[in-house]
Amino acid sequence: MRFFCKTSLALAALMFALAAVPAVKADPIVIRAGGFSLFNLGNDGSVASDKDSLVGASTQTQNISNPGSYEILLNPLTFTTGFTGPNSGGAHPFTFSQLLSINGQTQMLNLVGSIDIDHLVDTVHIISATPLTFDFKTFSVVVTVIPIDLDGIGEGVFCGNLKARLEIKTGSPVPEPATLTLLGIGLAGIAAKIRQKRKSKLA
C-alpha cells in the first residue's frame, strides 16, 4: 500500500511538471501582401482609357508573436477616376487576387469587389474574400479581409487602406526535453521498484 501511495505521488508530480510548462508562443510572424493592379473598371468599351483604376501596393508586416486578434494593413489603395464611357453607369462586379505569404508559406487570396459609376461619384467596394488559414507547428493564423468602400468624387486620385484581421492561435504546448527526461526517469524507477518487489516475494 505504501509503495502504491509513493507511485501515485510520483506520477502526480510528473503530471504537474508537464502542466506547468509555459504555453508555446507563436514564432515572430512576417506577413507579405503581393499587391494588385486593376484597370478599366466599369469601362463600357467606347473610350480608350485606363480609368477607373484601383491599385493596391504590396506591404510587409512583422514583429507580431503573441496569440490574439490583430488588425493589419494589407494594401494602401490608390483609386484613380475618369471618364469610362457614356453607357458605363451602374454597378459592375469584378474579382481579383493577390499572393499572401506568412513566414514563407504562400497562398492565393481571392477577393470580390464591385464599382458603382454615377455622374459625380464613383465608388469602389471590396466586398469579401474567403478567409485563409496558415498552419504551422506550434500556431495557426487565420486572415480575414475587412470590407471597404472608397469614393471618388469627380476626376482625380483618391486613397484608402485595405485591412485584414489576423487571428493567431497557439497549438498544444510541446513538453520540453528536460520534462520528458524526468518523466522517463520516473517511469523507469517505478518499473524497477515493481520488479524488486516481485523478486522479494518470490524469494
Q: What's the chain's average pLDDT?
A: 83
Mean pLDDT confidence for 112-139: 96
Residues 6 or more apart whose Cβ sits within 8 Å of residue 35: 55, 56, 57, 58, 59, 75, 98
Residue type, 201: K
Q: Are 105 and 59 members of one domain?
A: yes
Residue range(s) defining the domain that contains residue 8:
2-21+175-197
Do 98 and 6 lie in a common domain? no
**Is 67 inside a domain boundary?**
yes
pLDDT at site 23? 46
Confidence bin at 39 (pLDDT 50/70/90): very high
- Kindly report, residue by residue over 79-108, the tens digit of the pLDDT: 999 999 999 999 999 999 999 999 999 999
Same domain, 84 and 33: yes
- Does 79 lie in the same domain as 115? yes
What CA–CA distance (Å, rounded) separates 108 from 103? 15
Mean local confidence (pLDDT), 28-39? 96
Is the residue at 118 inside a domain? yes
Report residue 165's pLDDT band, with 50, 70 and 90 as the boundaries.
Answer: very high
Q: How many domains does the chain have?
A: 2
pTM to 2 decimal places: 0.72
